[in-house]
Every structure is written in structure tokens, then in C-alpha cells.
Copies of this chain bind each other. A is one copy, B any other.
Amino acid sequence: MPTIDRRSDRPPYRQIADNLRAAILSGELPPGAKLPSERELAEEYGVERATAHRAVQELYLAGLVAPQQGRGVFVRTRPPVRRISRNRLTRRDQRGFYGDLEDAGLQANVTTTITHRSPPDSVAELLGVEPGTPVLVRDRHMGTANGPALHHVTTYCTPSGVERVAKRAQDNAGPGGMCARFEDAGYELVQQDIVAARMPLPDETTALDIDAGIPILTILRITTDSSTGDTLEVTDVRLAADRNELRYPI
């Protein structure tokens, strides 16, 4: 019999959320299970419906439950996780993105956009250009024909980097991507990944099919010429954190 301590510092809606969360994490409410309706919760705990709603909202925004209009609130089921290896995304010696999808019996769906625009200040610094300077930018949105979006890749090229591989960068960079083209041209590359996470912006929420309470993983991949130390390109990858993990062999 759940109840609320009105004298507690913890507000009622949090106490209700705590109880529901504990039931979910203990397995008492397994993935896919239906929570009591907000009106039932309200009566059960002796609060207004708005308060019960806030409790459910708390769990929704933490990614634990998924409300469905007209049906009820259900415990989230974890979607299948893609475990992405270090060099799956750019290196030529991998079948890469497409092979990954073929294995799953899916058809790839890639849209590429080429623009000139000024990169974020942090990227401009890495590229060695003045903030606000437009550079060549390739946006690639990766998805499946009948499924959720997979990831979004933005590649920023330095002017000098573009010159070195000529027009290939303007169009499709070919198998292995830009890096393979740099290697074709005889450069020895050094790469590093900067991995971070944050909450998505609204446009990322729609572009990457991200549910509330799910962060995005971001990878900033920096490619430099090992002999000169020049940065050749910077690639920014964004993925939904509930469907993707990154694997780095050491």
C-alpha cells in the first residue's frame, strides 16, 4: 500500500515517481508493462491528477516510460543496440556502414548535403581557420528504409585539405570516405576521437528519432597529417544513445 509522507522534504510527485521507479528497476513492472492510469494513481495516493501526471512526467523525461495517448503509460523496452567499432565509420579497410545494414537485412538510406558554411568555433579552432570562416561541409544523414534514423555525420574540411584531394570532396568521396582519398594521395594519417554526450536539441530529436529522456552520443573525429601535424578534416558524428554503443579496442 503506497502512501505519501506529507511532512517530507521530498515533494509528493517525487515520492510517487520514486515508488514507480523502484517498481520498474526491481522488475516488478517489467518492460512493456502498463502503469496505473494517472487517475488511478491520483486516487491511490490521495493527490490531484496533475500531481500524478508530474510523477509520470518525471519518469518519461528520464527515459524510463513511454506514455501513449489514449492507451496508457508503458515501461520502456530497450531497443536493440548497435555496437559500433572504432573505425566502422571512416576507414577504408572496413565494409562499414553498408555491410552493417546488409547483415541486418536492411536497406541503407543516405542523404548527403554539401554546403559552404562557418563551422562551430571549436571546430574552426581545430581546423586552424578564423571563427566565422566558411569551409566545405558535408552533411550525411544515415538511416534505414523502414526504420529509425541511425546517425548523422558532419565533415568539415580545411581549405588546404580540400586542395590536396581536389574535387573528390565536392562529390561523393568514394569508398572509405575522405580519409581513404587522403591515404590514396600518400598521406599518413593520425586520428583521435573525442567522445561526449548531451541532451539533443529539438531538431536533433526529430532528425534522429530520439525519444524524451534519451541523450545523444557525439564523436568528434580529428584527422591530422602525421608528418606536418596539420588537421585535414574534422568529423562530427551524432547518435541516439539508446540504440548505439561505441567500442574502442585498446
Question: Are A248 and B192 within 8 A (Cβ)?
Answer: yes
Question: Are B192 and A87 within 8 A (Cβ)?
Answer: no
Q: How far is the CA of A249 from the CA of B250 in the complex (A)?
A: 9
- Number of contacting residues on A, CB 8 A? 35
Q: A1-45: which have CB < 8 Å to B?
A: 18, 21, 25
Q: A63-87: which have CB < 8 Å to B?
A: 63, 83, 86-87
Q: A221-250: which have CB < 8 Å to B?
A: 241-242, 244-250
Interface 0/1 of A74-111, CB less than 8 Å to B: 00000000010011000000000000000000000000
Q: A186-218: which have CB < 8 Å to B?
A: 190-199, 201-202, 213-217
Question: Are B199 and A215 within 8 A (Cβ)?
Answer: yes
Question: Are A191 and B63 within 8 A (Cβ)?
Answer: no
| Minimum distance in angstroms from A99 CB to a CB of chain B | 20
Number of copies: 2
Chain B residues contacting A63 (CB-CB under 8 Å) are 198-199
Question: Are B197 and A250 within 8 A (Cβ)?
Answer: no
Question: Are B192 and A215 within 8 A (Cβ)?
Answer: no
Chain B: which residue is nearest A221 at the CB level? B250
Q: How far is the CA of A195 from the CA of B199 in the complex (A)?
A: 16
A145 contacts chain B at the CB level, 8 A cutoff: no
A62 contacts chain B at the CB level, 8 A cutoff: yes
A173 contacts chain B at the CB level, 8 A cutoff: no
Chain B: which residue is nearest A193 at the CB level? B248
| Minimum distance in angstroms from A12 CB to a CB of chain B | 16
Chain B residues contacting A21 (CB-CB under 8 Å) are 201-202
Chain B residues contacting A196 (CB-CB under 8 Å) are 217, 241, 244-246
A61 contacts chain B at the CB level, 8 A cutoff: yes
4 closest A-B pairs by CB: A215-B215, A197-B197, A197-B241, A195-B246
Query: Can you give 28 A-B contacts (C-beta < 8 A)?
Result: A18-B202, A21-B201, A21-B202, A61-B61, A62-B199, A63-B198, A63-B199, A86-B248, A191-B249, A192-B250, A193-B246, A193-B248, A193-B250, A194-B245, A194-B246, A195-B195, A195-B217, A195-B246, A195-B247, A195-B248, A196-B241, A196-B246, A198-B214, A198-B241, A199-B213, A215-B215, A215-B241, A248-B248
